[in-house]
Amino acid sequence: MATLDSAVAGAPDIPQVSLRNVHLSFGSNEVLKGIDLDVGRGRAVSIIGPSGSGKSTILRCLTGLLTPQGGAITVSGTRVDLLRAEPERIELRKRVGFVFQQYNLFPHLTVLQNLVVAPLRVLGRDRAGAESDARRLLQRVRLEDKIHAYPGELSGGQQQRVAIARALAMHPELILFDEVTSALDPETVGEVLTVIRELVDEGMTCVLVTHEMQFAEEISDEVYFTEAGRIVEHGPARQLFRSPASDRTRAFLARAL
């Protein structure tokens, strides 16, 4: 696997993430009906589409939380759909950061403790190193003054920025964002989007599921529109938003914008 990974790292034209004809069902409910999707290294890709169309399911497949019944999923040269043993899946989850709508910070731990717990326990980092890393990341999300606060003392937007810093503390190869601003008060959405925009600008590979259409257009290299378990259309952000090829994409955007 190491050889494959290093070969891929030296070839930016090979997608870092690729899904090929991915099929996934929950019982008799076929939720992904042949998904093809590519994310280049250092690229930002957004997935938009109606509720229930399979967007979160796609992201959960990329973390090894769900295994499709058909097709192939590759993340940095690893066929993640073939991972069966739990230790291999844990290895994958170290490499793929995941930030959700519900930030799920540990309420009884301070911001600093939230940031170091996984690096200490999962990566086996030493405490001094993990803490200096955490301080640097809190500066990056502009929350260094909240280092000893508890999550309950922070606004939703601040908690979500801590959740992003917590994902970054694992030094992931890519980060998945699943509707991370949907539960926030409107006035704190902007500060979270700013942090994501900076990550994209710095070249972090990002896959976003979002309802923030303007933001998606602004930061994404490529946008995929999903409906009922299929990719209806994908293309460069400007093209998909300004001149969608499909009537269904057009109808969705007319409702969403």
Decide whether 3 or 51 has the Cβ nearer to ligand ADP: 51
Minimum separation from the CB atom of position 37 to Mg ion (A):
15
Q: How far is the CB of 251 from ligand ADP (least distance, A)?
A: 17
**Of residues 56 and 158, the one with the C-beta less far from Mg ion:** 56
Task: Answer whether 111's CB lies under 8 Å from 146's CB.
Answer: yes
Binding mask 52-81 for Mg ion (x = CB under 5 A): ---xx-------------------------
Residue 188 interacts with, from Mg ion, ligand ADP, none (CB under 5-8 Å by kind): none
What residues make contact with ligand ADP under the rule CB under 6 A? Answer: 26, 29, 31, 51-57
How many C-beta neighbours within 10 Å does residue 2 have?
7
Q: How far is the CB of 92 from ligand ADP (least distance, A)?
A: 19
- Measured from the CB atom, the residue of 43 and 55 that comes closer to Mg ion is 55
Of the pair 47, 162, the CB lying nearest Mg ion is at 47
Distance CA 163, CA 253 (A): 29
Partner from Mg ion, ligand ADP, none contacting 157, C-beta within 5 to 8 A by type: none
Question: CB-wise, 55 or 234, nearer to Mg ion?
Answer: 55
Backbone angles phi and psi of 236, in degrees to 5:
-55, 145
Q: Which is nearer to ligand ADP, 45 or 138 (CB)?
A: 45
Count of residues in contact with Mg ion, rule CB under 5 A:
2
Q: Which does 95 bind (CB under 5 to 8 A by kind): ligand ADP, Mg ion, none?
A: none
Residue number, 24 or 195, with CB nearest to ligand ADP: 24
Residue 175 site contact among Mg ion, ligand ADP, none (CB < 5 to 8 Å, cut-off depends on kind): none
Partner that binds at residue 53, options ligand ADP, Mg ion, none, CB closer than 5 to 8 Å by kind: ligand ADP
Residue 28's binding partner out of Mg ion, ligand ADP, none, with CB under 5 to 8 Å set by partner kind: none
Asked if residues 115 and 169 have their Cβ atoms less than 8 Å apart, the reply is: yes
Shortest distance, position 29 Cβ to ligand ADP, whole Å: 6
The string of DSSP letters for the chain reads -HHHHHHHHT-TTS-SEEEEEEEEEETTEEEEEEEEEEE-TT-EEEEE--TTSSHHHHHHHHTTSS--SEEEEEETTEEGGG--SHHHHHHHHHHEEEE-SS----TTS-HHHHHHHHHHHTS---HHHHHHHHHHHHHHTT-GGGTT--GGGS-HHHHHHHHHHHHHTT--SEEEEESTTTTS-HHHHHHHHHHHHHHHHTT-EEEEE-S-HHHHHHH-SEEEEEETTEEEEEEEHHHHHHS-SSHHHHHHHHHH-
Contacts to Mg ion by CB under 5 A? 55-56
